[in-house]
């Protein structure tokens, strides 16, 4: 009986610790902020909806990086919110940049990515990160993941997980973007 109690106790502690460490952080302000790395892809074939971009060329705008892959349900369930956010805040200085980093081989095919971008009505620039180089540069671990970069090119906050218009995370992200837009 004592042995069963000890094993059960160890099991419960393990479950609690596993849940704590596997639970993604939904929001993380970066203090101090760090400079965003330059985009790792520079050929026209590695971009959709735009010529290749550089982070340094976007200084003066607030950037929302959206790490996604097209077979990720949480990603495409977030697109209606992302598209509405872009429509509302692009005139104020928000630039959304999609970073498509695939999970599966068929998600590396440019034509498949382009078709999904059309299906999901994604009109913002999308960098195709099939080699995970930008994923690694940003030390990303999740789909979807959102990084907010200020007008000076510094990463100021990260958010993780499916996001919907009007939910708590969407409100926090939008407030953070508006604060960054208001900064000099």
In DSSP terms, which residues pair with 167 in a beta bridge? none
CA angle 25, 26, 27 (to 5 degrees): 95
Count CA within 13 A, CB hemisphere, residue 157: 20
CB-CB contact of 40 with 134 (8 Å): yes
Strand order in the sheet with 94-100: 27-35, 154-160, 145-149, 62-68, 94-100, 126-128, 47-48
pLDDT score at 27: 62
How far is Cα of residue 100 from the mean position of the Cα atoms in its chain? 10
pLDDT score at 25: 43
Domain locations along the chain: 26-182
pLDDT score at 51: 98
pLDDT score at 148: 98
pLDDT score at 6: 59
pLDDT score at 147: 98
For the chain, first and last CA: distance in Å? 66
Low-confidence ranges of the chain (pLDDT < 70): 2-28
Task: Look up the CATH number of domain 26-182.
Answer: 3.40.30.10
pLDDT score at 16: 43
């Amino acid at each position: 009986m004592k042995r069963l109690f000890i094993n059960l106790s160890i099991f419960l502690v393990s479950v609690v610790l596993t849940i704590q460490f596997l639970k993604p952080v939904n929001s993380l302000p970066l203090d101090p902020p760090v400079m965003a790395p330059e985009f790792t892809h520079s050929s026209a074939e590695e971009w959709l909806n735009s010529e290749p971009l550089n982070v340094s060329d976007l200084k003066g705008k607030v950037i929302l990086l959206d790490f996604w892959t097209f077979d990720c349900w949480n990603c495409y369930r977030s697109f209606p919110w992302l598209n509405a956010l872009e429509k509302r805040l692009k005139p104020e200085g928000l630039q959304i940049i999609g970073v498509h980093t695939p999970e599966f081989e068929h998600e590396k095919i440019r034509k498949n990515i382009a078709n999904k971008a059309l299906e999901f009505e994604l009109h913002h620039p999308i960098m195709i990160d099939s080699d995970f180089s930008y994923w690694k540069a940003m030390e990303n671990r999740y789909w979807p993941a959102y990084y907010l970069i200020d007008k000076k090119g510094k990463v100021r906050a990260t958010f993780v997980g499916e996001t919907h218009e009007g939910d708590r995370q969407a409100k926090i992200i939008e407030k953070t973007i508006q604060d960054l837009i208001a900064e000099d």
